[in-house]
Structure 1
Amino acid sequence: MKTLQSTLLLFLFVPLIKPAPPSQQDSRIIYDYGTDNLEETFFSQDYEDKYLDGKSTKEKETMIIVPDEKSFQLQKDESITQLPPKKENDANLRRLDFTGNLIEDIEDGTFSKLSLLEELTLAENQLLKLPVLPPKLTLFNAKYNKIKSRGIKANAFKKLNNLSFLYLDHNALESVPLNLPESLRVIHLQFNNITSITDDTFCKANDTSYIRDRIEEIRLEGNPIILGKHPNSFICLKRLPVGSYI
């Protein structure tokens, strides 16, 4: 009996404590890269009354815009066949990413006012040719398209003196693009339909002392070309291209 009374008294004097309410989650997504915090805000806009194959569908386009207004990324959406309309602050963009859509054609003047653009990604679309590219690009990625050699102008890359990374793999190129700039460090051309190269493709046939020391990697595997048949095409390189030699 005493034990029961003691237990009842204990319950009477122990203060009631309510559990703390769950903390609200911040709707912002914050990525921490060392000392920099990059906050990305997601804006979504739904488009009604779209019809595909006779059926009513709802198409959702999601844009990821970094607060400094220097980056723009269009989320993968297989219903998007053209670039979104231009905006007033486009001139300040440094990075554009249109990966994973069904974009088939881009007019030559599309990027003419993007004088500050450094990175342009058009991967995984349906492009048959390249538009005129901005002059300050350091990275251009158009892998996994349907681009043929005739879809790249002879001087498409010639004046891109800051271009370091070029990704044109998994296309339908029959030859290596002409007039590649000296600034290039990485060139990906694997899994195309390249059948031949010349002594001037990467080197200078008339200058045996010429060394192209900036190039760190050239990938040509998955092409019909046998690299071993073109030994003079690589004498200026510090590293042989990746590919088939026999």
Structure 2
Amino acid sequence: MTRSSLTGIQQGFHQENIFRSRAACNPGFATRRLTMQPLPVCCTLLLLLPFILSAPSVPQQTISHHEDYIVEGKLFQLNLQKMAQTTERNGLTLLSKDRFKRDQERAGSNRTAAKVEDADLPTCLLCVCLSGSVYCEETEIEEVPPLPKETAYLYARFNKIKKITAKDFSDFPTLRRIDLTGNLIEEIDDKAFDKLPLLEQLNLAENKITRIPALPTKLTVFNANDNQIKSKGIKANAFKKLTSLAYLYLANNQLESVPQNLPESLRILHLQQNGISSITDDTFCKSNDTHYVRSHMDEIRMEGNPVILGKYPNSFTCLKTLPSGSYFK
């Protein structure tokens, strides 16, 4: 116990002794002391009430509800008479319930469909966009994702895309490469790639495509390996106007014949593992022009087809190298 505490106790005992001595000499002294006891608690509260009512309000940090409004953020002496559809003050945002529900539904729709309505947004929701390239690989998307207008390269491989519509690539004039390998594509609108004047590479391998749509004229590489394409799914002039096409991959399909009117620019042609059973003198060359040479063609692969190439010696006179495949039974 400290010295100050002892001093206080001693003073208390001294005052009590004085009281007792005065009471012994004057009996009315004790009565007067009793009348000076503290006021009751209720009276004390009544006296202090004006000071309590005038005290300033304490800032609250809550999220609360009031009638038709939802309050988000920090609440600072909210004046309900000044509520509006949207008010921002000191971090406070007031949203009507209708507005709040609309915003929530819109946000949920964006997450589900991965669509961005505002063209100024820099990226689609489920993809990574970097320097004109969009990477959406293995994200399980079921449709072509929204793209920034400046997109030049799209990689959306190994997803669950089932259809390509004319609207998917309707306003992307800078696209140069599209890779949709390993999806579930069964249907492609014939005009899906019409508005892609700079498209050079199109990869649709490992899908369920049964026919080839119209292709952009500047295409240099077209890969449709591992699909279900039959000869009737390729138009007679599907490749004729593609004067820049150098690489054509149609292996592991269901072709019964070699596509017609192959462009002169073609260098590599892969047709292995199809159902091609015969060829003609005009398949690769020109039967009416014995001097004709396919100067650009470097490789033709036809192994895994039922055709016996040795039966058609005049079909390869214009080629620098013979196609790979079966020449004898």
TM-score scaled by length of structure 1 = 0.73
Aligned to 1:160: 242
Secondary structure of the structure 2 residue equivalent to 1:140:
strand
Percent identity over the alignment is 55
1:105 deviates by 1.0
2:211 & 2:134 partners in 1: Cα distance? Answer: 33
Asked if the contact 1:128/1:147 (under 8 Å) is kept, the reply is yes
1:42 deviates by 4.8
Asked if the contact 1:63/1:72 (under 8 Å) is kept, the reply is no
CA RMSD between the two structures:
2.8
Pick closer, same or farther for the CA change 1:64–1:97 going to 2, 3 Å.
Answer: farther
1:86 deviates by 2.5
Give CA-to-partner distance per residue, 1:160-193, whole Å, 9 cap, x none: 0000000000000000000000000000000000
1:93 deviates by 0.1
1:202 & 1:104 partners in 2: Cα distance? Answer: 30
1:44 & 1:128 partners in 2: Cα distance? Answer: 23
Pick closer, same or farther for the CA change 1:182–1:42 going to 2, 3 Å.
Answer: closer
Aligned to 1:82: 163
**Letter of the aligned partner of 1:132 in structure 2?**
A
2:191 equivalent to 1:119: no
Which structure: greater helix fraction?
A: 2
2:281 to 175, 192, 199: 199
Give CA-to-partner distance per residue, 1:198-237, whole Å, 9 cap, x none: 0000001011111111100000000000000000000110
Pick closer, same or farther for the CA change 1:129–1:40 going to 2, 3 Å.
Answer: closer
1:82 deviates by 1.5
Which structure: greater strand fraction?
A: 1
1:43 deviates by 6.1
Secondary structure of the structure 2 residue equivalent to 1:228:
helix
2:194 equivalent to 1:108: no
Query: Where in structure 2 are there 5+ consecutive unaligned residues?
Result: 1-127
Pick closer, same or farther for the CA change 1:98–1:233 going to 2, 3 Å.
Answer: same
1:63 deviates by 6.8
Aligned to 1:131: 213
1:142 to 224, 242, 267: 224
Pick closer, same or farther for the CA change 1:215–1:66 going to 2, 3 Å.
Answer: farther
TM-score scaled by length of structure 2 = 0.55
1:87 deviates by 5.7
Give the structure with higher Rg (CA): 2
1:91 to 167, 173, 179: 173
Aligned pairs, how many?
A: 198
Aligned to 1:26: none
Aligned to 1:209: 291
Query: Where in structure 1 are there 5+ consecutive unaligned residues?
Result: 1-28, 30-36, 47-58
Aligned to 1:228: 310
